Structure 1
Amino acid sequence: MHIFEGQARVPLKGWQQAAVAVGSALGALMNPARADLIAALGETTGKLAFQNLLDRMKTSHEGRIILQERPRVISSSVGHAWDLPANTFGAAYAKFMGSRNFSPDDRPPVRFMDTEELAYVATRAREIHDFWHVLFNLPTNMIGESALKVVEFQQLYLPMCLLSTIGGSVRMKAKQREYFFKYYFPWAIRAGMSCTDIMSIYYEKHFHEDLELVRNRWGILPAPDLKNLRPPSKSQ
Protein backbone atom coordinates (compact mmCIF):
# COMPACT_ATOMS: atom_id res chain seq x y z
CA MET A 1 0.00 0.00 0.00
CA HIS A 2 1.02 3.59 -0.62
CA ILE A 3 0.21 6.50 1.66
CA PHE A 4 -1.36 9.79 0.60
CA GLU A 5 -1.50 12.15 3.57
CA GLY A 6 -2.37 9.37 5.98
CA GLN A 7 -4.69 7.56 3.59
CA ALA A 8 -3.97 4.02 2.37
CA ARG A 9 -4.01 3.52 -1.40
CA VAL A 10 -4.44 0.09 -2.94
CA PRO A 11 -2.80 -0.63 -6.33
CA LEU A 12 -5.02 -2.79 -8.54
CA LYS A 13 -4.32 -5.02 -11.52
CA GLY A 14 -6.58 -4.74 -14.56
CA TRP A 15 -8.97 -7.54 -13.61
CA GLN A 16 -9.10 -6.35 -10.01
CA GLN A 17 -9.97 -2.85 -11.13
CA ALA A 18 -12.77 -4.20 -13.32
CA ALA A 19 -14.09 -6.33 -10.46
CA VAL A 20 -14.11 -3.38 -8.06
CA ALA A 21 -15.83 -1.20 -10.67
CA VAL A 22 -18.58 -3.74 -11.36
CA GLY A 23 -19.10 -4.53 -7.68
CA SER A 24 -19.20 -0.86 -6.75
CA ALA A 25 -21.66 -0.06 -9.53
CA LEU A 26 -24.04 -2.81 -8.49
CA GLY A 27 -23.73 -1.95 -4.82
CA ALA A 28 -24.26 1.76 -5.40
CA LEU A 29 -27.32 1.06 -7.55
CA MET A 30 -28.83 -1.01 -4.75
CA ASN A 31 -27.83 1.44 -2.02
CA PRO A 32 -27.14 4.99 -3.31
CA ALA A 33 -26.32 6.13 0.24
CA ARG A 34 -23.07 4.15 0.16
CA ALA A 35 -20.65 7.00 -0.52
CA ASP A 36 -17.69 4.61 -0.35
CA LEU A 37 -19.05 2.54 -3.24
CA ILE A 38 -19.75 5.61 -5.35
CA ALA A 39 -16.22 6.83 -4.60
CA ALA A 40 -14.71 3.49 -5.61
CA LEU A 41 -16.72 3.52 -8.83
CA GLY A 42 -15.47 7.01 -9.65
CA GLU A 43 -11.84 6.05 -9.06
CA THR A 44 -11.81 2.75 -10.95
CA THR A 45 -13.69 4.03 -14.01
CA GLY A 46 -12.21 7.52 -14.16
CA LYS A 47 -8.43 7.19 -14.24
CA LEU A 48 -8.09 8.61 -17.75
CA ALA A 49 -10.40 11.49 -16.84
CA PHE A 50 -8.39 12.23 -13.70
CA GLN A 51 -5.19 12.25 -15.75
CA ASN A 52 -6.78 14.73 -18.14
CA LEU A 53 -7.87 16.87 -15.18
CA LEU A 54 -4.33 16.82 -13.82
CA ASP A 55 -2.93 17.92 -17.18
CA ARG A 56 -5.56 20.64 -17.45
CA MET A 57 -4.83 21.98 -13.98
CA LYS A 58 -1.14 22.20 -14.87
CA THR A 59 -2.00 24.62 -17.69
CA SER A 60 -3.81 26.99 -15.30
CA HIS A 61 -2.00 29.42 -13.00
CA GLU A 62 -4.41 28.81 -10.14
CA GLY A 63 -4.50 25.10 -10.91
CA ARG A 64 -0.72 24.88 -10.60
CA ILE A 65 -0.84 26.61 -7.22
CA ILE A 66 -3.46 24.10 -6.04
CA LEU A 67 -1.30 21.18 -7.17
CA GLN A 68 1.74 22.67 -5.47
CA GLU A 69 0.08 23.53 -2.14
CA ARG A 70 -2.41 20.62 -2.11
CA PRO A 71 -5.03 22.31 0.10
CA ARG A 72 -7.48 20.03 1.87
CA VAL A 73 -11.14 20.84 2.53
CA ILE A 74 -11.24 19.71 6.14
CA SER A 75 -12.54 21.31 9.31
CA SER A 76 -9.19 22.70 10.38
CA SER A 77 -8.73 24.57 7.09
CA VAL A 78 -12.25 25.85 6.33
CA GLY A 79 -13.58 26.48 9.84
CA HIS A 80 -13.10 30.24 9.47
CA ALA A 81 -15.94 30.28 6.91
CA TRP A 82 -18.41 30.19 9.82
CA ASP A 83 -17.16 33.63 10.95
CA LEU A 84 -17.47 35.45 7.62
CA PRO A 85 -20.15 38.04 6.69
CA ALA A 86 -23.47 36.68 5.46
CA ASN A 87 -23.02 37.85 1.86
CA THR A 88 -19.77 35.96 1.31
CA PHE A 89 -19.13 32.70 -0.47
CA GLY A 90 -17.60 31.28 2.71
CA ALA A 91 -20.67 32.12 4.79
CA ALA A 92 -22.93 30.52 2.18
CA TYR A 93 -20.81 27.38 2.36
CA ALA A 94 -20.95 27.37 6.17
CA LYS A 95 -24.74 27.77 6.08
CA PHE A 96 -25.06 24.96 3.54
CA MET A 97 -22.98 22.59 5.67
CA GLY A 98 -24.46 23.60 9.01
CA SER A 99 -28.09 23.42 7.91
CA ARG A 100 -27.54 19.82 6.81
CA ASN A 101 -25.29 18.82 9.70
CA PHE A 102 -22.55 17.97 7.18
CA SER A 103 -18.87 17.84 8.05
CA PRO A 104 -16.07 18.42 5.53
CA ASP A 105 -14.26 15.53 7.21
CA ASP A 106 -16.87 12.94 6.17
CA ARG A 107 -15.63 12.27 2.63
CA PRO A 108 -14.30 8.71 2.05
CA PRO A 109 -10.56 8.56 1.31
CA VAL A 110 -9.13 7.92 -2.15
CA ARG A 111 -7.87 4.34 -2.40
CA PHE A 112 -7.45 3.22 -6.00
CA MET A 113 -5.42 5.86 -7.84
CA ASP A 114 -2.00 4.97 -9.25
CA THR A 115 0.08 8.02 -8.32
CA GLU A 116 0.26 10.62 -5.58
CA GLU A 117 -0.68 13.38 -8.02
CA LEU A 118 -3.74 11.54 -9.31
CA ALA A 119 -4.75 10.65 -5.77
CA TYR A 120 -4.68 14.32 -4.87
CA VAL A 121 -6.72 15.35 -7.94
CA ALA A 122 -9.34 12.73 -7.06
CA THR A 123 -9.34 13.91 -3.45
CA ARG A 124 -9.70 17.53 -4.52
CA ALA A 125 -12.64 16.76 -6.81
CA ARG A 126 -14.34 14.88 -4.00
CA GLU A 127 -13.75 17.54 -1.35
CA ILE A 128 -14.90 20.57 -3.39
CA HIS A 129 -18.19 18.91 -4.36
CA ASP A 130 -20.03 20.85 -1.65
CA PHE A 131 -18.62 24.14 -2.95
CA TRP A 132 -20.34 23.34 -6.24
CA HIS A 133 -23.64 22.73 -4.47
CA VAL A 134 -23.38 26.21 -2.99
CA LEU A 135 -22.28 27.98 -6.16
CA PHE A 136 -24.85 26.31 -8.41
CA ASN A 137 -27.57 26.62 -5.74
CA LEU A 138 -28.45 22.94 -5.80
CA PRO A 139 -30.13 20.95 -3.01
CA THR A 140 -28.77 17.60 -1.87
CA ASN A 141 -31.87 15.59 -2.79
CA MET A 142 -31.95 13.17 -5.72
CA ILE A 143 -32.87 15.86 -8.25
CA GLY A 144 -30.16 18.23 -7.04
CA GLU A 145 -27.44 15.58 -6.96
CA SER A 146 -28.39 14.29 -10.41
CA ALA A 147 -28.36 17.81 -11.85
CA LEU A 148 -24.93 18.49 -10.37
CA LYS A 149 -23.64 15.25 -11.85
CA VAL A 150 -24.67 16.53 -15.30
CA VAL A 151 -22.61 19.68 -14.70
CA GLU A 152 -19.71 17.63 -13.37
CA PHE A 153 -19.75 15.28 -16.34
CA GLN A 154 -19.42 18.18 -18.76
CA GLN A 155 -16.55 19.60 -16.72
CA LEU A 156 -14.73 16.50 -15.49
CA TYR A 157 -15.71 13.80 -18.03
CA LEU A 158 -15.87 11.21 -15.27
CA PRO A 159 -17.93 8.16 -16.32
CA MET A 160 -19.25 7.91 -12.77
CA CYS A 161 -21.05 11.24 -13.21
CA LEU A 162 -22.93 9.94 -16.24
CA LEU A 163 -23.72 6.64 -14.53
CA SER A 164 -24.96 8.47 -11.43
CA THR A 165 -27.24 10.68 -13.52
CA ILE A 166 -28.74 7.67 -15.27
CA GLY A 167 -29.12 5.77 -12.01
CA GLY A 168 -30.64 8.76 -10.26
CA SER A 169 -33.20 9.40 -12.99
CA VAL A 170 -34.20 5.73 -12.99
CA ARG A 171 -34.82 5.81 -9.23
CA MET A 172 -36.93 8.98 -9.43
CA LYS A 173 -40.68 8.75 -9.28
CA ALA A 174 -42.47 9.59 -12.52
CA LYS A 175 -43.31 13.17 -11.54
CA GLN A 176 -39.83 13.79 -10.18
CA ARG A 177 -38.31 12.52 -13.43
CA GLU A 178 -40.56 14.81 -15.44
CA TYR A 179 -39.58 17.70 -13.18
CA PHE A 180 -35.87 16.89 -13.54
CA PHE A 181 -35.84 16.69 -17.33
CA LYS A 182 -38.13 19.70 -17.78
CA TYR A 183 -36.26 22.12 -15.53
CA TYR A 184 -32.95 20.81 -14.24
CA PHE A 185 -31.42 18.83 -17.08
CA PRO A 186 -31.60 21.70 -19.62
CA TRP A 187 -30.26 24.10 -16.98
CA ALA A 188 -27.38 21.74 -16.13
CA ILE A 189 -26.33 21.51 -19.78
CA ARG A 190 -26.19 25.31 -20.02
CA ALA A 191 -24.47 25.67 -16.65
CA GLY A 192 -21.77 23.12 -17.42
CA MET A 193 -20.97 24.80 -20.73
CA SER A 194 -20.96 28.38 -19.47
CA CYS A 195 -18.76 28.17 -16.37
CA THR A 196 -15.00 28.29 -16.10
CA ASP A 197 -12.86 25.24 -15.31
CA ILE A 198 -14.27 24.35 -11.89
CA MET A 199 -11.30 22.16 -10.97
CA SER A 200 -8.78 24.99 -11.32
CA ILE A 201 -10.31 27.38 -8.79
CA TYR A 202 -8.68 27.81 -5.38
CA TYR A 203 -12.07 28.19 -3.71
CA GLU A 204 -10.78 28.67 -0.18
CA LYS A 205 -8.95 31.85 -1.16
CA HIS A 206 -12.27 33.36 -2.28
CA PHE A 207 -14.29 32.62 0.86
CA HIS A 208 -14.21 36.29 1.90
CA GLU A 209 -15.66 37.52 -1.41
CA ASP A 210 -19.29 38.25 -2.22
CA LEU A 211 -21.12 35.13 -3.40
CA GLU A 212 -22.74 36.77 -6.42
CA LEU A 213 -19.45 38.39 -7.39
CA VAL A 214 -17.61 35.06 -7.60
CA ARG A 215 -20.52 33.44 -9.40
CA ASN A 216 -20.35 36.14 -12.06
CA ARG A 217 -16.56 35.94 -12.32
CA TRP A 218 -16.60 32.17 -12.80
CA GLY A 219 -19.60 32.12 -15.15
CA ILE A 220 -21.73 30.19 -12.66
CA LEU A 221 -25.40 29.93 -13.64
CA PRO A 222 -27.41 29.13 -10.47
CA ALA A 223 -30.06 26.43 -10.71
CA PRO A 224 -33.77 27.29 -10.93
CA ASP A 225 -35.19 28.28 -7.55
CA LEU A 226 -37.33 25.46 -6.21
CA LYS A 227 -39.66 27.97 -4.59
CA ASN A 228 -40.58 29.37 -7.99
CA LEU A 229 -41.29 25.98 -9.50
CA ARG A 230 -44.25 23.73 -8.89
CA PRO A 231 -43.02 20.82 -6.74
CA PRO A 232 -43.89 17.26 -7.72
CA SER A 233 -46.71 15.62 -5.82
CA LYS A 234 -45.59 13.29 -3.04
CA SER A 235 -48.18 10.79 -4.18
CA GLN A 236 -46.58 10.42 -7.60
Structure 2
Amino acid sequence: MIEGPRIRLNGWQQAAVALGSAVGALLDPRRVDLIAALGETTGKPAFERVLERMEKSPEGRAVLLERPRVISEKVGHAWDLPANTFGAAYTRFMGSRNFSPDDRPPVRFMDSEELAYVAMRAREVHDFWHTLFGLPTNLIGESALKVIEFEQMLLPMCLLSVVGGTARFNGKQRATFYQHYFPWALRAGKQCTDLMCVYYEQHFHEDLEEVRQRWGIIPAPAPALAVSPNAARVV
Protein backbone atom coordinates (compact mmCIF):
# COMPACT_ATOMS: atom_id res chain seq x y z
CA MET A 1 0.00 0.00 0.00
CA ILE A 2 1.23 3.54 -0.81
CA GLU A 3 1.84 5.49 2.39
CA GLY A 4 -0.36 8.45 3.23
CA PRO A 5 -4.14 8.97 3.03
CA ARG A 6 -5.61 9.41 -0.45
CA ILE A 7 -8.20 12.13 -1.05
CA ARG A 8 -11.01 11.70 -3.60
CA LEU A 9 -11.90 14.90 -5.45
CA ASN A 10 -14.74 15.76 -7.79
CA GLY A 11 -14.06 17.63 -11.03
CA TRP A 12 -14.33 21.12 -9.56
CA GLN A 13 -12.17 20.21 -6.60
CA GLN A 14 -9.50 18.75 -8.87
CA ALA A 15 -9.49 21.91 -10.97
CA ALA A 16 -9.20 24.07 -7.86
CA VAL A 17 -6.33 22.03 -6.42
CA ALA A 18 -4.57 21.98 -9.81
CA LEU A 19 -4.89 25.75 -10.24
CA GLY A 20 -3.80 26.52 -6.70
CA SER A 21 -0.87 24.13 -6.94
CA ALA A 22 0.22 25.58 -10.28
CA VAL A 23 0.19 29.15 -8.97
CA GLY A 24 1.94 28.17 -5.74
CA ALA A 25 4.61 26.13 -7.54
CA LEU A 26 5.34 28.98 -9.94
CA LEU A 27 5.74 31.37 -7.00
CA ASP A 28 7.92 28.94 -5.06
CA PRO A 29 9.46 26.06 -7.11
CA ARG A 30 10.87 24.55 -3.88
CA ARG A 31 7.36 23.48 -2.83
CA VAL A 32 7.63 19.85 -3.90
CA ASP A 33 4.27 19.13 -2.28
CA LEU A 34 2.56 21.57 -4.65
CA ILE A 35 4.40 20.18 -7.67
CA ALA A 36 3.35 16.68 -6.63
CA ALA A 37 -0.30 17.77 -6.22
CA LEU A 38 -0.22 19.43 -9.64
CA GLY A 39 1.15 16.27 -11.23
CA GLU A 40 -1.54 14.10 -9.66
CA THR A 41 -4.55 16.33 -10.35
CA THR A 42 -3.63 16.94 -14.00
CA GLY A 43 -1.90 13.66 -14.80
CA LYS A 44 -4.47 10.87 -14.44
CA PRO A 45 -4.81 10.19 -18.23
CA ALA A 46 -1.02 10.17 -18.58
CA PHE A 47 -0.59 7.78 -15.66
CA GLU A 48 -3.28 5.51 -17.11
CA ARG A 49 -1.31 5.32 -20.38
CA VAL A 50 1.89 4.57 -18.46
CA LEU A 51 0.09 1.81 -16.56
CA GLU A 52 -1.07 0.24 -19.83
CA ARG A 53 2.47 0.27 -21.21
CA MET A 54 3.86 -1.25 -18.04
CA GLU A 55 1.29 -4.05 -18.18
CA LYS A 56 2.51 -4.93 -21.69
CA SER A 57 6.20 -4.99 -20.74
CA PRO A 58 7.84 -7.95 -18.92
CA GLU A 59 9.89 -5.68 -16.65
CA GLY A 60 6.99 -3.28 -16.27
CA ARG A 61 4.70 -6.12 -15.17
CA ALA A 62 7.31 -7.25 -12.65
CA VAL A 63 7.45 -3.73 -11.22
CA LEU A 64 3.66 -3.61 -10.93
CA LEU A 65 3.56 -7.05 -9.32
CA GLU A 66 6.33 -6.52 -6.78
CA ARG A 67 5.87 -2.75 -6.30
CA PRO A 68 9.46 -1.89 -5.33
CA ARG A 69 9.94 1.36 -3.43
CA VAL A 70 12.91 3.70 -3.76
CA ILE A 71 13.43 4.28 -0.06
CA SER A 72 16.52 3.93 2.12
CA GLU A 73 15.43 0.57 3.50
CA LYS A 74 15.19 -0.90 -0.01
CA VAL A 75 18.10 0.71 -1.89
CA GLY A 76 20.70 0.97 0.89
CA HIS A 77 22.70 -1.94 -0.55
CA ALA A 78 23.62 0.21 -3.56
CA TRP A 79 26.13 2.07 -1.34
CA ASP A 80 28.25 -1.12 -1.23
CA LEU A 81 28.48 -1.71 -4.98
CA PRO A 82 31.63 -1.24 -7.14
CA ALA A 83 32.31 2.27 -8.40
CA ASN A 84 31.58 1.48 -12.07
CA THR A 85 28.03 0.27 -11.42
CA PHE A 86 24.75 2.06 -11.97
CA GLY A 87 23.90 1.63 -8.29
CA ALA A 88 27.15 3.26 -7.17
CA ALA A 89 26.63 6.16 -9.59
CA TYR A 90 23.18 6.67 -8.06
CA THR A 91 24.63 6.74 -4.54
CA ARG A 92 27.29 9.28 -5.61
CA PHE A 93 24.55 11.47 -7.08
CA MET A 94 22.53 11.29 -3.86
CA GLY A 95 25.46 11.56 -1.46
CA SER A 96 27.11 14.52 -3.16
CA ARG A 97 23.87 16.49 -2.72
CA ASN A 98 22.94 15.14 0.71
CA PHE A 99 19.67 13.85 -0.76
CA SER A 100 17.61 11.10 0.85
CA PRO A 101 15.34 8.75 -1.12
CA ASP A 102 12.85 9.09 1.74
CA ASP A 103 12.08 12.75 1.03
CA ARG A 104 9.42 12.22 -1.67
CA PRO A 105 5.89 13.36 -0.72
CA PRO A 106 3.17 10.69 -0.65
CA VAL A 107 0.55 10.33 -3.38
CA ARG A 108 -2.78 11.82 -2.28
CA PHE A 109 -5.05 12.38 -5.29
CA MET A 110 -5.06 9.15 -7.31
CA ASP A 111 -8.32 7.16 -7.53
CA SER A 112 -6.93 3.63 -7.47
CA GLU A 113 -4.10 1.85 -5.70
CA GLU A 114 -2.53 0.91 -9.04
CA LEU A 115 -2.50 4.47 -10.35
CA ALA A 116 -1.22 5.70 -6.99
CA TYR A 117 1.71 3.30 -7.30
CA VAL A 118 2.48 4.39 -10.88
CA ALA A 119 2.46 8.04 -9.78
CA MET A 120 4.74 7.24 -6.84
CA ARG A 121 7.05 5.18 -9.06
CA ALA A 122 7.36 8.08 -11.52
CA ARG A 123 8.24 10.35 -8.60
CA GLU A 124 10.76 7.96 -7.06
CA VAL A 125 12.72 7.08 -10.24
CA HIS A 126 13.40 10.78 -10.92
CA ASP A 127 16.86 10.54 -9.31
CA PHE A 128 17.66 7.40 -11.32
CA TRP A 129 17.03 9.46 -14.45
CA HIS A 130 19.27 12.26 -13.17
CA THR A 131 22.01 9.65 -12.72
CA LEU A 132 21.54 7.97 -16.09
CA PHE A 133 21.43 11.19 -18.10
CA GLY A 134 24.16 12.89 -16.04
CA LEU A 135 22.02 15.93 -15.33
CA PRO A 136 22.75 18.38 -12.49
CA THR A 137 20.04 19.52 -10.10
CA ASN A 138 20.25 23.21 -10.99
CA LEU A 139 17.47 25.01 -12.90
CA ILE A 140 18.88 24.03 -16.30
CA GLY A 141 19.31 20.37 -15.32
CA GLU A 142 15.85 20.06 -13.77
CA SER A 143 14.20 21.80 -16.73
CA ALA A 144 16.00 19.51 -19.19
CA LEU A 145 14.91 16.43 -17.25
CA LYS A 146 11.31 17.68 -17.24
CA VAL A 147 11.50 17.78 -21.07
CA ILE A 148 12.56 14.12 -21.05
CA GLU A 149 9.83 13.24 -18.55
CA PHE A 150 7.26 14.94 -20.77
CA GLU A 151 8.52 12.99 -23.80
CA GLN A 152 8.22 9.77 -21.79
CA MET A 153 4.93 10.30 -19.96
CA LEU A 154 3.16 13.34 -21.48
CA LEU A 155 2.45 14.71 -18.02
CA PRO A 156 1.11 18.29 -18.20
CA MET A 157 2.97 19.09 -14.99
CA CYS A 158 6.31 18.49 -16.76
CA LEU A 159 5.46 21.02 -19.45
CA LEU A 160 4.35 23.57 -16.85
CA SER A 161 7.57 22.97 -14.90
CA VAL A 162 9.65 23.71 -18.00
CA VAL A 163 7.74 26.94 -18.56
CA GLY A 164 8.12 27.94 -14.91
CA GLY A 165 11.78 26.95 -14.74
CA THR A 166 12.87 28.71 -17.90
CA ALA A 167 11.04 31.86 -16.81
CA ARG A 168 13.64 32.13 -14.03
CA PHE A 169 16.62 31.93 -16.39
CA ASN A 170 18.65 34.98 -17.17
CA GLY A 171 19.30 35.71 -20.84
CA LYS A 172 22.53 33.71 -21.05
CA GLN A 173 21.05 30.70 -19.24
CA ARG A 174 18.04 30.79 -21.56
CA ALA A 175 20.29 30.83 -24.62
CA THR A 176 22.33 27.91 -23.26
CA PHE A 177 19.21 25.92 -22.48
CA TYR A 178 17.46 26.38 -25.81
CA GLN A 179 20.62 26.06 -27.92
CA HIS A 180 22.05 22.98 -26.23
CA TYR A 181 19.97 21.30 -23.51
CA PHE A 182 16.48 21.58 -24.98
CA PRO A 183 17.27 19.96 -28.37
CA TRP A 184 19.38 17.33 -26.60
CA ALA A 185 16.51 16.54 -24.17
CA LEU A 186 13.99 16.19 -27.03
CA ARG A 187 16.31 13.75 -28.80
CA ALA A 188 17.25 11.87 -25.62
CA GLY A 189 13.63 11.45 -24.49
CA LYS A 190 12.57 10.03 -27.85
CA GLN A 191 15.55 7.75 -28.42
CA CYS A 192 15.71 5.97 -25.07
CA THR A 193 13.66 2.98 -24.00
CA ASP A 194 10.37 3.33 -22.11
CA LEU A 195 11.93 4.35 -18.82
CA MET A 196 8.83 3.62 -16.73
CA CYS A 197 9.08 -0.03 -17.78
CA VAL A 198 12.57 -0.54 -16.32
CA TYR A 199 13.07 -2.40 -13.03
CA TYR A 200 16.04 -0.25 -12.04
CA GLU A 201 16.79 -1.98 -8.76
CA GLN A 202 17.55 -5.23 -10.62
CA HIS A 203 20.26 -3.43 -12.61
CA PHE A 204 22.09 -1.70 -9.76
CA HIS A 205 25.00 -4.17 -10.00
CA GLU A 206 25.52 -3.62 -13.75
CA ASP A 207 28.07 -1.30 -15.38
CA LEU A 208 26.69 2.23 -15.78
CA GLU A 209 27.86 2.67 -19.37
CA GLU A 210 26.48 -0.73 -20.37
CA VAL A 211 22.99 0.02 -19.06
CA ARG A 212 23.08 3.45 -20.71
CA GLN A 213 23.88 1.80 -24.03
CA ARG A 214 21.24 -0.91 -23.60
CA TRP A 215 18.52 1.61 -22.71
CA GLY A 216 19.49 4.09 -25.44
CA ILE A 217 20.54 6.81 -22.98
CA ILE A 218 22.31 9.83 -24.45
CA PRO A 219 24.16 11.56 -21.56
CA ALA A 220 23.66 15.31 -21.22
CA PRO A 221 26.09 17.72 -22.87
CA ALA A 222 29.06 18.47 -20.62
CA PRO A 223 28.51 21.94 -19.11
CA ALA A 224 31.82 23.19 -20.49
CA LEU A 225 30.79 22.11 -23.99
CA ALA A 226 27.20 23.30 -23.70
CA VAL A 227 28.06 26.89 -22.87
CA SER A 228 28.59 29.16 -25.85
CA PRO A 229 31.31 31.84 -25.65
CA ASN A 230 28.68 34.46 -24.81
CA ALA A 231 26.79 32.39 -22.23
CA ALA A 232 27.22 32.16 -18.46
CA ARG A 233 28.89 29.05 -17.11
CA VAL A 234 26.34 26.45 -15.98
CA VAL A 235 26.74 25.66 -12.28
Aligned equivalent of 2:177: 180
Query: Counterparts of 1:93 and 1:6 in 2: how far apart (Å)?
Result: 24
What is aligned with 1:30?
27
Using the size of structure 2 for normalisation, the TM-score is 0.96
Q: Does 1:78 align with 2:79?
A: no
Per the TM alignment, residue 52 of structure 1 is displaced from its structure 2 partner at its CA by: 0.6
- Once residues 11 and 229 of structure 1 are traced to their aligned partners in structure 2, the CA distance between those partners, rounded to angstroms, is 45
Deviation string, structure 1 residues 135-185 (Cα, Å, up to 9, x no partner): 011000000000001011011010001111111111111110011001100
Q: Which amino acid aligns with 2:65?
A: Q
Match of residue 233 from structure 1: 232
- Give the Cα–Cα distance (whole angstroms) in 2 for the partners of residues 200 and 186 of structure 1: 24
1:125 aligns with 2:122: yes
| C-alpha separation in 2, matches of 1:160 and 1:60 | 25
Q: Percent identity of the aligned residues?
A: 69
**Structure 1 alignment gaps of length 5 or more:** none
Residue identity opposite 1:212 in structure 2? E
Q: Which residue of 2 is the match for residue 68 of structure 1?
A: 65
Distance 1:124 1:213 in 2: 23
CA distance in 1, matches of 2:45, 2:227: 40
Q: Tell me the distance in 2 between the aligned counterparts of 1:19 and 1:147.
A: 28
Count matched residues.
Answer: 231
In 1, distance between residues paired with 2:232 and 2:198?
38
> Tell me, what secondary structure is at the counterpart of 1:171?
coil
1:85-127, Cα deviation, whole Å (9 max, x unpaired): 0000000000000000000000000000000000000000000
Distance in 1 of aligned mates of 2:2 and 2:187: 37
| Cα 1:185/1:229, change in 2 over 3 Å | closer
**Does residue 167 of the first structure (1) align with residue 171 of the second (2)?**
no
Alignment root-mean-square deviation, CA:
1.0
